[in-house]
Structure 1
Amino acid sequence: MKIKSLLLLVAFVFSYQFTYSQSKYEWKQASAAGYTYKYVTNDPMQTRFYTLKNGMRVILSVNHKDPRVTAKIAVRAGSNNDPKDHTGLAHYLEHLLFKGTDKYGSLDWAKEKPLLDKIEDLYEVYNSTTDVAKRKEIYKEIDKVSGEASKYAIANEYDKLMSSIGSQGTNAHTSVEETVYEEDVPASSLNKYLLIQAERFRYPVFRIFHTELEAVYEEKNRGLDNDGKKMYEATNYYLFPTHNYGQQTTIGTIEHLKNPSIKAIRQFYNTYYVPNNMAIILSGDFNPDEAVKEIDKQFAYMQAKPVQEYKPAPEQPISAPIIHDIYGPSAESMRICYRTPAEGTHDVLMIDLISTILSNGKAGLLDLNLNKQQKLQSAGAGLNQFKDYGAFCLTGSPKQGQSLEEVKDLLMEQIEKLKKGDFDESLLEAVVANSKLGEIQGLEGNDNRAQALMTCFIQNKGEGWDKSVSWLDDEAKITKKQVVDFANTFFKNNYLILYKRKGEDKNSLKVEKPPITPVETNAGKQSAFVTMIKNMPSTPVKPQWMDFNKDIQHGKIGNASVLYTQNKDNQLYRVYYKFDMGSWNNKLLPFAFSYLSFLGTEKYTPEQISKAYYSIASNFNLAAGSDESMVTITGLQENFTKAVTMFEEIINNCKANDAALAAFKNRIMKSRSDAKSNKGAIMKGLTSYAVYGAKNPFNYSLTDQEIANITAEQLVDLLHNLMNYKHTIIYFGPESLSKFTTTLAGLHKMPATFKDCPAAVKFNRTSQTANQVLFANYDMVQSEINWVRNTSLFNAEKQPMIDLFNDYFGGGMGSIVFQTIRESKALAYSTYASYRTPSKKEEPYTISAYVGCQADKMKEAIKGMNELLNTLPQVNKSFEVAKVGEKNNIETSRITQDGVIFAYLNVQKKGLNYDPRKKEYEALDKISLDDITKFHQQELANKPYTYCIMASDKKVNMEDLKNIGDLKTLSLEEIFGY
């Protein structure tokens, strides 16, 4: 589903000639608690827009659903604003804003500062030096002084500080026009959060610089291995030959990454990180009068400065098709892209609507004419809109025996249909109906709310929010004739075509590994500022436990059990049919579920079914897992009977279609082939092989011959009989239990007695007795290593220890693994470790540890992780932070809606009948660091592991792998089973 249909996520400032619903959505002004704010009438989010005296925008949306607050601090500066000779600067600055200030992140600022000044000066010399030998000498000095400076630095103190106040999802992102710092904090910690952020932006210190730069190098290399990212960057490069959208990538060039300037970064910060160019956006459980007062108090020190916005020269119109090839190891695909005008224009509104007419997942032209008819592997369309311009793209991938040029022709045919008006006018009404559903869904989540407000601030400082909330009304006024007229004006020979072909990317260059001496992290130490924050009083939050006897009502429909919770917030419903069987019971089940989307009945064609569901803003989905399957029907309660009735007609009366099956088999074979070129799928297969051995769930698949032998009758018979198997009915919606069961009993056909499910295949877990290496060869810049080991069976009594251990050892940026592998040794961008809990009581725990790093760092990375697996560093401060963070998360988590039912079903699999968080919460205070260390020694230390390694055999030394353990190079056939 597109972002737009989740919420009013992109703020459109429409042109003045467009007719607005101004009488309904108007800016008004009000005052409260001594502050004046603006708001838009009939805004479903009831957002307040403040402007403080120093120009900082404060945007507040109250939502009391959970005792938490999503917070975003947005800066209207991104890679567009990077200096031409220092691309990637805005992104790197984002990384450095996690390093602290002179008050935190430092043990002794007076001693640290002269060393940091020296490093800054050395980088300026390094930046201007071209002689290779001299550069190496300068870098050696940088490395040396950085080691000295690190003795006074506390790495990742920011992350530990945020964990200690219960923050979740500490993160940030940089894009072309924005840099945004994100947190999700308990409502009781909001004042602490604001105090921390005010300090964070007061005087950021760019410490631990060269190891963080190495992390950015790793991030750059990960992008070089990502064909999707290469396609994205190529799209911008060719659509915007003048604008920085295309001429400056967010992560920057390799040359500029090799020559950073701390002075330039500081200048960028001083220029753009000023209050009149920033906004604090809060959505969640807080008092807006108190919140704005506290924000003003904490950020009043910031002084406004003039900010010169990036003003690009206009792009020249595209007068003829631009065609380019992009190469890489993943599956072939292509895209047709059109440059769109500035955000806020009527044209962008029309293009966004057109993107939904073409592709909405159900009834768009691409959905019905291409995907439903299986004329290609897949097709879609979407708009990526920035402030000055945007990119509207149609995407497609070929089925077996089909060329990319043929895919292009099929996509172009749909543009021609659009221009001819070859679509139902009712589709426009359906778009609005589905947007209504999406708006309701989106308002439930704090992050959706904050994201919408953040986008509005970045694109127009929030001034277009009235147009955002009038979006549904404005869109409903657009006629089919207006769409067709616009399409004929807009879609001409003004497009870019990118063909993503399989092959070696000869332009790919990796960033070379510099010599880095591990730096000191001082993980067990703490600054006075952090001590002060921790000692601040806070209002305790009482945890809320699920009581399955009270929170879930039980009923019966025929011989099926019903699990029920009521939706008291809105008119959305979700009904599920849950089956205790999956692909392990019947390999054909996932094929049958997918095949259903191409089938009709005596009453309806497949196209009519898709149109009908889209017209009532409803949906159904069938998903087959390994040992359970789910049918889900969702929508607005007013359309419940229609949606369920139609599904019952489809599942019971679908007709076999041999032509659809032949096309379906073609696409299955193509997707199986494509999976073998997907490095994520390959690593998943390697890991499954490590956990289970040669016979494992990942490669438990049909052979090519078995697929060829599947008949339409087999699949249809399986679908017709599906409801004869035992299933549990789950409902979350506004109707009472009695009314729901009465209504569904008249719609949902069930047998007098259920059929027994076929027996499931059993997979035996491996028992590692010696180190083993499973290697998969892949054309990539990086290497990926996953350590795997099966341990003991599930034990509910051990769970509090395990969850606390995971948080302390490898669960986040403040963890031991992250601090050592990334912060101290600069060996990876991504690294983690986890003692993974099984889903069932009869299954064992699994240890998993991961490092993704440059191939030339692999040997060092393996050594570094092995040291941590064998010897657990004991850092009391980090342990206490982990414990407080665990408790805060439990205190402020609220499992509601149908989440209660699925939590109940999950604990049942573990042999429990209660909310396990209660026992964990009570046990946490009793667990000591010595307990964690003993657990580590018993379960992880000096144990044999299976090393799943994926890399290019041209970039790693295979002898190094043999030194780890028995080396087995797996073929793709062994990994995938076909």
Structure 2
Amino acid sequence: MNLIKKAICSLLLACTMSSLAGAQQKKYEWKEGTSGGYTYKYISNDPMKARFYTLKNGLTVILSVNKKDPRIQTLIGTRAGSNNDPSDHTGLAHYLEHLLFKGTQRYGSLDWSKEKPYLDQIESLYDTYNRTADATARQAVYHSIDSVSGLAAKYAIANEYDKMMSGMGAQGTNAHTWVEETIYEEDIPSNVVDKFLAVQAERFKDPVFRLFHTELEAVYEEKNRGLDNDGRKTYELMLATLFPTHNYGQQSTIGTIEHLKNPSLKAIRDFYNTYYVPGNMAVVMAGDLDPDQVIKQIDQAFAYMQPKPVKEYKAPVEKPISAPIVKEVFGPDAENVMIAFRMPGALDVKSAVLQSVISEVLNNGKAGLLDLNINKQQKVLKASAGVMGWKDYSVFTMSGSPKEGQTLEQVKDLLLGQLEILKKGEFDETMVKAIVNNAKLAELVGVESNKNRATSMMDGFIKHRGKNWQTDVSFVDDMSKVTKKEIVDFANKYFSNNYVLLYKRKGEDKNLQKVDKPAITPVEVNREAQSAFLKQVNEMPANSIKPLWLDFDKDIQKGKLGTADVLYVQNKDNGLFRLYYRFDMGSWNNKLLPLAAQYLQFLGTDKYTTEQISKEFYNIACNFNVSTGTDATTLTVSGLQENFDKAVALFEHVLRNCKPDEQALAAFKGRIAKGRADSKLNKSNILKGLTNYGMYGPKNPFNNQLSQSELDAVTGQQLVDILHSLPEYQHMVIYYGPQTLDAAIAAIGKQHQVPATPKTIPAPLKFEKISQDKNQVLFTNYDMVQSEVNWIRNAGNYTPDNTTLISVFNGYFGGNMGSIVFQTIRESKALAYSTYAYYASPEKKDGRYSVVAYVGSQADKMGEAINGMNELLNDMPRSEKGFMTAKQSMKQDIETERITQDGIIFTYLGSKKLGLDTDYRKTVYSQIDGITYDDVKKFHDENIANKPYTYCIMASDKKVNPEDLKKFGDVKVVSLEEIFGY
């Protein structure tokens, strides 16, 4: 789904079934309302019923009510991002985002009066550092910064913001900076709005930039991670070439290496004072709220903000591109090609609508030109198209990955060939109607998500301060008015030789740099300290929210369809259905099953070609999927209940009547071979495989693959026989939809034949976790700036009695930003951007637990990072307050969790795999208060501390010498062939 589509996704989500069938379009007009003493604006027929308030100081507040869960998604955003960075301090908006988690004078500090002189001195030192060119002199200044920072840190309380949010039950604490925005996210229980607003009002009142040099190191790590990411490099080069004068291309969000090395706290403060002002900010909330009460609370909390004009970024007009501009990116990952066109921005509503429709005509996942002419026919490994919409300009991209033996130039020609088809109008005009119906279908699902609602509303504010919400709400209806002539005219106007062409080639990046590791002395984090402000927030009263437990006997209705068990939950919200056939059989039972499942998408029947099948499903706004895991295969049909019979009948026909296509199989095998080769170039896949090796040994679930000779020997008839025979095995039928149980069983029974005597499921392979009896290092070489380290230790067998203790331990020790591991590795020692550690529970009752830990750091800090994690694994620091916060957060998560829809059924099935027949959350909840710190400490000492571990390390052997790793254990260099099994 393209980004413009994402932005408008969920705006018409409550469309009625009649509107999906093409009923008369509604009117969308601005209206004004007054309630609770406040005036607001809204759009008629807006299914989200969003209220737009403008407070006296200019702050925008946007509220949407959704009572589905007792939670609220909150976003606080400012219309300032890397676009607004000073040209001599790029990355500044992103720095500031990080610093707004560090606290104020009232929280994050033990004694502000004693801390402030040191922070003033640090700011002055950075100003000197910024103006110093001589390397020796700079080193001396930085040494002073490090020394004074250590003194200042004695008065800092690290992560106090995270502790407050975690303590009130917030989830998803995060923030992001992009070109035109910086957004701060929290998902809060609905009973803590006053606590949340107290913290946020204080947070944005007068932020203190404490613990700066360790946070700066975290940003360095983030930059280095980007330098190791070929996709990120391609993206940034694409923007730089497409926008030679606009800041979209000239100022990367994370900043240049030179500017990262020379930060200015004064410049950051100036940026904050300029852009974090009420007329440039919005508070967005979606969920279980009373808008009359919440707007009053927000007004009172942020009344201190004073209005101040904001200078808008004046976008330069880019000169037209008159001929293709070709660029190359080199790196270790797989090759691909990207074609990018500069388009009118989001404020040109008609253009935005046309771009969205055109992207779907090209690539909708089923019946677009790329889908049918390229992907279905397997002319490349994969191809896609989409739109990235910003205020001043949008970017339309097409991308593709080559098959074995195919050049990037050939992929480019195939992509451009589909544009020519579009420009000639050689596509079915009825596709536009199908695009609109599928968009409305997707939105029907999305309306239940508070995050979708909040994101859409914030996106409207960022792009046009919400003034165009009318066109946002009517966006899908406007799509339905688009004609074929408009599409063709637009395509011919904007798609010519005016593109940027990027070839991502495999090879050494000769220009690769990294941000060097500065000398940082670990700082205090003061785990046990609490500010008076935190205590004040914690003491604010909150209405209790009672948890809701599942009763599997009442919440799930059960029936029979022949020999098949039927599990049923009724959809009382809308007219959508989801039907599943679930088999207790996966790749461990038959290695050909995943291959057959993928092969189906390329097959036709005696009645339909594969292209016709895709079109049929797309035209009725329904989907089908065959998904194979290690121990289960699930066949899914979903869509509009009114098309249930048609969709299920079509899927049954396809499954039972698909015909082998040897030409398609040959192409499929070729793509598998190329995909396998590409996978061996991808560092995430390599690390995943290496970790599986450490957990299970040389033969493991990750490398349980067909050998090349086995793959070569597979015939189309073999795979089709597997597909045809699937319904003959014992399986379960799951239905979630608006029909009653009896009606659903009758409707399914008309289309789906259940065997009277099911076939016996083949015995599965078994993969046993190995026991670590000594320290070992598994090393794999990869050309990268950073190093990635996973710790693996397999522990005892599953027992439900340990669930509560393990959950509390994970929350306290290493599961989030307020945990011991994060505070120590990142906040105190600045050794990593990302780090965690937890005791992983198995999915089956006969499975074993595993200890899993991770640090991603610069290669030259790897030894320090490993030692830092080992210290924590062997000796867990004590923090009674941190422990109580972890327990409090865990209880509030359970209190506000609502398992609904078909999630009830899958929770039940997951519980059965663990041997449980009740909602075990109830037991956990009742036990949390009884867990003591000593219980957690004993658990850590018995299961984590001073145990042998397998270190799974991926790094460049040019930056890390495997010989140096021997101090951590016996070293084995693991080849890619051993990791992947081919």
| Common topology (TM > 0.5) | yes
After TM superposition, the structure 1 = structure 2 runs for residues 502-541 of structure 1, keeping only pairs within 5 Å, are 502-541=506-545
Structure 2 counterparts to residues 88-107 of structure 1, below 5 A: 88-107=91-110
Q: Residue 831 of structure 2 aligns to a residue in which SS?
A: coil
Return the TM-score normalized by structure 1. 0.98
- 1:769 and 2:769 equivalent? no
Contact 1:11 1:456 in 2 (8 A): no
Pairing partner for 2:742 from 726, 733, 738 = 738
Cα offset, 1:907, TM superposition: 0.6
Is the 1:71–1:183 Cα contact (8 Å) retained in structure 2? yes
Runs of at least 4 residues of structure 1 off by over 6 A? Answer: none
Compute the displacement of 1:11 (Å): 8.9
Give CA deviations for 1:275-321 in whole Å, capped at 9, x if unaligned: 11000000000100000000000000000101001002210011111
User: Residue 482 of structure 1 aligns to which amino acid in structure 2?
Assistant: E
The separation in 2 between residues aligned to 1:3 and 1:446, in whole angstroms, is: 18
**Structure 1: distance between partners of 2:219 and 2:863:** 20
Map of 1:51 onto structure 2: 54
Per-residue Cα deviation, 1:915-959 (whole angstroms, up to 9, x for no partner): 111010010000011110000000000000000000000001322
Q: CA deviation at 1:342?
A: 1.9
Match in the other structure for 2:646: 642
C-alpha distance in 2 between matches for 1:106 and 1:231: 42
Match of 1:589 in 2: 593
Aligned residue in 2 for 1:546:
550
Instruction: Report how far residue 5 of structure 1 moved.
Output: 5.3
Out of 228, 237, 243, the position equivalent to 1:234 is: 237
Percent of aligned pairs with the same residue?
Answer: 61
For 1:23 and 1:646, how far apart are their aligned partners in 2?
33
8 Å CA contact retained: 2:10, 2:444: no
2:352 corresponds to: 348
Asked if the contact 2:387/2:397 (under 8 Å) is kept, the reply is yes
Match of residue 914, structure 1, among 910, 915, 918: 918
Partner of 2:477 in structure 1? 473
Find out whether 1:445 has 2:411 as its counterpart: no
Aligned counterpart in structure 2 of residue 63 of structure 1, from 47, 61, 66: 66
What is the match of residue 108 of structure 1? 111
Q: Given the superposition, is the C-alpha separation of residues 762 and 23 from structure 1 closer, same or farther in structure 2, using an over 3 Å criterion?
A: closer
The answer (yes or no) to whether the contact 1:73–1:181 under 8 Å persists in 2 is yes
Aligned counterparts of 2:98 and 2:279: Cα–Cα separation in 1: 22
Give secondary structure in 1 for the equivalent of 2:412. Answer: helix
Q: 1:584: Cα distance to partner?
A: 0.5
Within-5 A mapping of 1:251-270:
251-270=254-273
Q: Is the 8 A contact 2:5 2:356 kept in 1?
A: no
> What does 1:581-730 align with in structure 2 at a 5 Å threshold?
581-730=585-734
Letter in 2 for 1:101: T
Aligned to 1:292: 295
User: 1:862 offset after TM fit, Å?
Assistant: 0.3
Q: How far apart are residue 349 of structure 1 and its match? A: 1.8
How far, CA to CA, are the matches of 2:362 and 2:177 in structure 1? 30
Q: Does 1:76 align with 2:79?
A: yes
Could you tell me how far 1:627 is from its partner in structure 2?
Answer: 0.8
Gaps of 5+ in 1: 13-20
What is aligned with 1:754?
758
The CA distance in 1 between the partners of 2:449 and 2:161, in whole Å, is 26
1:237 Cα deviation from its structure 2 partner: 0.6
Deviation at 1:3, TM superposition (A): 5.0
Q: Hey, what's the Cα distance between the residues in 2 that align with 1:369 and 1:700?
A: 33
Query: Contact (CA 8 Å) 1:513, 1:856: kept in 2 or not?
Result: yes
Superposition deviation, residue 874 in structure 1: 0.5
Q: CA deviation at 1:749?
A: 1.7
- 1:815 corresponds to which residue? 819
Pairing 1:558–2:558 present: no
Contact 1:75 1:458 (C-alpha < 8 Å) held by counterparts: yes
| Aligned match of 1:570 | 574
- Give me the whole-angstrom Cα distance separating, in 1, the residues matched to 2:271 and 2:626: 51
1:803: which partner in 2?
807
State the Cα distance separating 1:484 from its structure 2 match: 1.2
Q: Given the alignment of the two structures, is residue 125 of structure 1 paired with residue 128 of structure 2, yes or no? A: yes
Alignment of 1:389 onto 2:390: no
Contact 2:242/2:342 (8 A) holds in 1: yes
Q: Which residue of 2 aligns with 1:224?
A: 227
Match of 2:15 in 1: none
Q: CA separation in 2, counterparts of 1:481 and 1:398?
A: 33
Cα contact 1:6–1:439 (8 A) shared by 2: no
Q: Is residue 422 from structure 1 mapped to residue 426 from structure 2 by the alignment?
A: yes
Q: Deviations over 1:727-785 (max 9, x none)?
A: 11111111110000001001112221111111101112111000000000000000000
Q: Tell me, yes or no, if the aligned pair for 2:398 and 2:415 is still in contact at 8 Å.
A: yes
Q: CA deviation at 1:691?
A: 0.8
Offset of residue 504 of structure 1:
0.6
1:308 aligns with 2:329: no
Alignment check: 8 A CA contact 1:859 1:960 kept: no
1:593 Cα deviation after fit = 0.4
1:826 aligns with 2:830: yes
Residue 24 of structure 1, aligned match among 19, 27, 41: 27
CA distance in 2, matches of 1:11, 1:906: 33
Q: Which residue number corresponds to residue 276 of structure 1?
A: 279
> Alignment partner of 2:8: what SS?
coil
Distance 2:35 2:745 in 1: 48
SS at match of 1:792: strand
- Report the equivalent of 2:160: 157
User: What residue is the counterpart of 2:981 in the other structure?
Assistant: 977
Q: Distance in 1 between matches of 2:61 and 2:543?
A: 24
Q: Secondary structure at the match of 1:173?
A: strand
Please name the residue that 2:16 is paired with: none
Q: Secondary structure at the match of 2:361?
A: helix
User: In the TM superposition, what is the alpha-carbon distance from 1:23 to its structure 2 partner?
Assistant: 7.2
CA distance in structure 2 between the partners assigned to 1:665 and 1:363 by the alignment: 23
Residue type matched to 2:428 in 1?
A: D
**1:896-935 map, 5 Å:** 896-935=900-939
Report how many residues are paired.
Answer: 970
Where 2:192 maps in the other structure, the secondary structure is helix
How many Å separate the matches in 2 of 1:545 and 1:88?
Answer: 46
Contact 1:9 1:451 in 2 (8 A): no
Q: Deviations over 1:551-610 (max 9, x none)?
A: 000011111000000111111111111110100000000000000000000110000000
Q: Superposition pairs for residues 322-361 of structure 1, below 5 Å?
A: 322-345=325-348, 346-361=350-365
| 1:158-237 equivalences in 2 (<5 Å) | 158-237=161-240
CA distance change for structure 1 residues 81 and 957 in 2, over 3 Å: closer, same or farther? same
Confirm or deny: 8 A CA contact 1:337 1:497 kept in the other structure: yes
Q: What is the rounded CA distance, in whole Å, between the counterparts of 1:808 and 1:244 in structure 2?
A: 42
- AA aligned to 2:516 is E
| CA deviation profile, 1:810-859 (whole Å, cap 9, x unmatched) | 01110000000000000000000010010001000010000000000000
Indicate the residue corresponding to 1:15 in structure 2.
none
- Deviation for aligned residue 1:4: 5.3
Matched, 1:8 2:8: yes
Q: Render the CA deviation track for 1:317-337: whole Å, top value 9, x for unaligned.
A: 111110111111000000111
Q: Residues 55-114 of structure 1: CA distance to partner in whole angstroms, max 9, x if unpaired?
A: 000000000000000000010000000001100000000000000000000000000000
Q: CA offset at residue 196 of structure 1?
A: 0.6
Q: Distance in 2 between matches of 1:806 and 1:556?
A: 41
Q: Is the Cα–Cα contact under 8 Å of residues 7 and 443 in structure 1 kept in the other structure?
A: no
Q: Secondary structure at the match of 2:191?
A: helix
Q: CA RMSD in A?
A: 1.1
TM superposition shift of 1:536: 1.0
Q: Tell me the equivalent position of 2:491.
A: 487
Shift of 1:9: 3.9
AA in 2 matched with 1:319: S
Residue identity matched to 1:48 = R
Amino acid aligned to 2:952: C
Unaligned runs of 5+ in 2: 13-23
